[in-house]
Every structure is written in C-alpha cells, then in structure tokens.
Amino acid sequence: MFSASSAKCDPRTVWDVARAPPAATLVTMSDLQEEGKNAINSSLSPASVDIHPEDTLLEENEERTMIDPTSKEDPKFKELVKVLIDWVNDVLVEERIIVKQLEEDLYDGQVLQKLLEKLGDCKLNVAEVTQSEIGQKQKLQTVLEAVHELLRPHGWVLRWNVDAIHGKNLVAILHLLISLAMHFRAPIRLPEHVSVQVVVVRKREGLLHSNHITEELTTTSEMMMGRFERDAFDTLFDHAPDKLSVVKKFADGVYLVLLMGLLENYFVPLHNFYLTPDSFDQKVHNVAFAFELMLDGGLKKPKARPEDVVNLDLKSTLRVLYNLFTKYKNVE
C-alpha cells in the first residue's frame, strides 16, 4: 500500500518564463488566431475542431493537442469517460466532491490530490486551496511526483506531465486516470480498445503546422494489468469457451461460500452473506467473504478480485476454482 512517507511532497519545479517571440515573427493576436484555425482546419475532414483562441497563441516550437470532435462522439470513448467520472465520484463520495467534466475539474490538482490520498491511504504535503497558476502547478507537481513514485517501479508508461494536465489536455488526464484505476484495481470495467484521433498543432518558424495521430487509450484489461503470461486456463478459454458457462453459477458468490463450508466441514451462518443477492455490491460481498474463508482454510489469497468473479471473468473464476481443487482434491 502506498503511504505518505513514500511520497516526496516538496514542490521543487522551476517554471519557465514566457519568452517574447522574435521581432521578425511578431503578428497581431487576430492574425495568429486566424492562422491557427486555417492550419488546423485545412487538414481536417468535414467536421472542424472547436478552437479556443489560446490554442493558437503558441511560442516557437510549442505544441498543442486536442481531440478530433468525431472521436469525442464515439460511443466507446463516451463510455470510457463516463466510467472514469463515476469511479472518481464513488471514491470521493465522502469528500462531497462531484466531478462533472474531467478537464475542468481535475486540471488544478485539487481533485487529483484528494483522489490519490484516498486511493493510497496517505496525506500529501500540499496547500489545500491554490488560486494562482504557479500555486496550482506546484500542487500538481507534488501530486504527480507521488503518482510517479507509485507507478514507475511497476513499469507504467507515464503519458502526462504538469503542463498537459494544467492545460486541460483530456488525453493526458485520461491516461493518468486509467493508470491509477488499473494500478489500484478499481472495481470497474473499462471499455477495451478505445482510441482517439488527436490533432497536434506545432509552431515552426513562425507558422503553425498540424497533423493527426491515433492515440490508444485502452487495450485489453489483461494487457493493461500487465498479465502477459499465458497458462493452461488461457488455452482452455481459447479452445472451449462455450463449455465454460458453468462457472457463471459462482458469479454471485453463494456457491463459493457454501462450497467452503462443505470442504472445511462447518456451517456458514446465513447472516454472514446474502443467500439471494440482488445487487452488484451484495454479490461482491459474497465473493469477498468466500475469499476470507479460503484464507482461513490455509489457501493463498486469490489473485482475482471479487469484482472479476462477479463480472463473469471466466479465467479469474477458473483460477479460484483450480486453487480449491488443488487443495481439496484428496478430501473424501
């Protein structure tokens, strides 16, 4: 578990001072805005990007990115954003924080600070409220340093930075939240294979140039969790997925609880679990309780999450059942 003592919370960022453009490239604000719109729109198909004035006021070699509007309308992208917003709100429900727009609500570091503290069960040494841009970036720097210390040892690719988050770069914010959700094994199911078209605008020699790139946000759940190894269960799943529906009977946790009682030869009091669960939370409670009984019986803690079993993740369920079989196969 991540703790406050492991986070380096002293802000130590030196912020670049904005440089004035060379005299030879000085143009009016309206010229720059018009130039930016033309550069971007010239490379786009029918739909145009929603351009903000500040998106076209770039310094030499500065780069700005934005999501193509057609990608924002993709159902899988919308689902990804909704799932992440709902997750953040669930985590921070006790803080009475309600996130409605990721870009507008997370850019200043306040919500990210509370989210990391809640997930990591820690306290970061940052000011609670910061109004100035410098103060907000310093807070973000501290929060992101703590995130990096948490994720980097596990091989996560860090696709965000202070300027991107504070600049309300939705792609960067999504990468950050997805990494946190996967690292902390959030009880959510992210849509798989979500990609967006991103417009990248850069200023070179006084002119704005734009191009499109495809940004991959999610792959498969197993790849994002780093589960690249294959075992006998993967082979079984590949060759006979139609014969594995029987494991769905364990999804609500009732059979797992009763099975542990039978295998360990004791009666499980009915008030300890839901015999007829009718909600996701009740099913998760049952599976989590079954996992506790497994630990009491001398089994190792299952690698699967209770949520994986409830969500009908067949391989996770099979691995749980195989552990039971391995231990109790000689029980008469």
Q: What is the pLDDT of residues 152-210, one digit of tens each?
A: 877 778 899 999 999 999 999 999 999 999 888 787 888 889 999 998 888 888 888 88
How many independent structural domains does the chain possess?
2
Domain that holds residue 143: 63-226
Q: Which of 201, 226, 251 is the last residue of a domain?
A: 226
When the pLDDT of each residue in the chain is averaged and rounded to a whole number, the result is 78
- Between 270 and 46, where is the model more confident? 270
Residues 262 and 197 in one domain: no
Residues 216 and 310 in one domain: no
Q: How far is Cα 260 from Cα 278, in angstroms, rounded to an integer?
A: 21
Task: Name the domain boundary from 170, 203, 226.
Answer: 226
Q: Are 120 and 213 in a shared domain?
A: yes
Q: Is residue 48 in some structural domain?
A: no
Q: Please report which confidence band the pLDDT of residue 28 belongs to, taking 50, 70 and 90 as the band edges.
A: very low
Provide the CATH number for the domain around residue 135: 1.10.418.10
Do 220 and 72 reside in the same domain of the chain?
A: yes
- Same-domain check for residues 163 and 272: no
Q: Decide if 33 is inside a domain.
A: no
Task: Identify whether 10 is part of a domain.
Answer: no
